[in-house]
Amino acid sequence: MGGFTGGGEALALTKLLQYISSIKADCMARQQANDAQLSTMVAEQDVEGMTVMSISVEAGAPRESLSDDKKIVDIQESMCFRAAKR
C-alpha cells in the first residue's frame, strides 16, 4: 500500500473494505435464503405438475440480483483504488 500518505487514508480504506465484506456477507445470506425459497417452490411446483423450464426461469432472478450486487462491489473497489492512487 505504498500509495498512502497517512493513517487517515488507511483507516478509510479499512472501513471501506469492512463495508465491502458486509455487502458480500449480505449477498451470501440472501443467496442462501433464495436457495431455500427456491427449493420450497420447486417442491410445490413439481407437485402441481409445473415444468422444469419455468422453475429454471424463476431461479435466474436471484442470481441476477446478486450480479447487480457484485457490480456495486466492483465499482466501490474501483473507486477505492482510484482514491488510493491520488
pLDDT in tens, the chain (86 residues): 455 556 678 788 888 888 988 888 888 888 888 888 888 887 776 766 555 556 666 666 666 666 777 777 888 888 887 777 77
In the numeric block, which cell numbers belong to residue 25?
456477507
In angstroms, the Cα distances linking 50 to 42, 59, 60, 62 are: 9, 14, 17, 20
pTM over the 0.75 mark: no
Contact 28, 66 (CB under 8 A): no
Nearest to 81 by CA among 6, 4, 28: 4
Query: What is the model's pLDDT at position 13?
Result: 84
Q: Residue count of the chain, please give it.
A: 86
User: What residue ranges do the domains of the chain occupy?
Assistant: 17-85
Report the distance separating Cα 86 and Cα 83, nearest Å. Answer: 5
